[in-house]
Structure 1
């Protein structure tokens, strides 16, 4: 979306955040779409921070999280700090993984140190454990990596397997290993399976299943209010 104006992007984030807020979704996550191999570019950081702060002001009745494409916990936490966001999502928090942008190593220690320096321990850190968009470069099991993430200081863990059954198995194995942090199921969640997901996990991350099927690249509104409401109704039955 780098070809869009800031005014268009402001309309985009506010319009879609209002859909989620109106449906009763408790949190929304703002993510840039800039593929970067190194630290987050200054231009990307500035734009994301400005949009996050705008979103927070325009739609104050929904929680806000930040995730950036770059392997850069300082950028994520800086944006969250400036915008008053509630959490950041960090991938490759522990261990090492090969990604489409090259190898990445655990950013947990750096993230915790910078959050402490900011004096913002209230910004929660949600750590992906063996994210399925990357390939682990070491042989530890997902539950062992989850234990690493918990010990390193993540406030919550995001587990996503190769498929639905694998995701549920990873959550079960993490609990059996003694993981006490909240666990979110990070992919393939739908209105039809959210009940099963919430029986296993403390929360879920969902996006694609709630998107408008008829939207194109020029549309500001991408998520469907009716689908979002149905999803929250299904989730509330389990809750």
Structure 2
């Protein structure tokens, strides 16, 4: 059964815009007010462009679990977003390798889902080795009595390499078994992502699958023909830096219009 948060249709496609906060480890002078303005401005662009699902992504690089400042700031910003855009479905992801922090932030801010980058199977990333978060995350969600918060789990994406000898499709089945409500599959290219989705389905995955990278206006229809949904960000940016409107409303609107116009009746 699909988690209620992940329900979608031709008129309400499962497309999530990733809104990245500045890396606070190198931007410590930014105030909460500045960060809220940044998030509200860019979330407004996503909403105006016709995308109602947004994932707030803290990008503060930390070697261990999320620090209290990250949790407090992200929760405060998430709460501001939910108040400003009550129709929005909000997700949370943190750069730190942490099973509990995203769920705590989601619970405090009223967010609807979290994304965990290493859910099953240990992996080596550019930042070091990462252990699987599945057991801790599902246990903590139960502790919070927050079963309404969906867990999206990445399975060996292109930024990591598995430290165990297992095929990505088998790892996807394991992620489903260990409690993921949806899977995020991201290969080395768009074609590889599509192939991973097909392999996971053939292996027995029945939960929603999203393609997690390299999706744009040119391939969004193909992406949602292969998978249940997609996460989009870079292709919708107008500028790459600064506290400004980094995501372009018109680019977002064109992507969503392309999807709706070409979707089968």
TM-score bucket (shorter structure)? over 0.9
Instruction: Tell me which residue corresponds to 1:238.
Output: 263
The answer as to 2:186 corresponding to 1:131 is no
Q: Please identify runs of 4+ aligned residues in structure 1 that moved more than 4 A.
A: none
Which whole-Å CA distance do the structure 2 matches of 1:219 and 1:74 have between them? 29
Residues 162-188 of structure 1: CA deviation (Å, up to 9, x unaligned): 111111110001111111000000100
The answer as to 2:139 corresponding to 1:119 is no
Within-5 A mapping of 1:66-145: 66-145=92-171
Q: Of 235, 245, 254, which aligns to 1:221?
A: 245
SS at match of 1:116: helix
Instruction: Tell me which residue corresponds to 2:53.
Output: 27
Within-5 A mapping of 1:187-202: 187-202=213-228
Asked if the contact 1:48–1:79 (Cα under 8 Å) also holds between the matched residues in 2, the reply is yes
Which whole-Å CA distance do the structure 2 matches of 1:25 and 1:17 have between them? 9
Which whole-Å CA distance do the structure 2 matches of 1:89 and 1:5 have between them? 25
Instruction: Tell me which residue corresponds to 2:75.
Output: 49
Within-5 A mapping of 1:7-18: 7-18=33-44
How many residues of Structure 1 are paired with residues of Structure 2 in the alignment? 237
RMSD: 1.1
Which whole-Å CA distance do the structure 1 matches of 2:213 and 2:240 have between them? 23
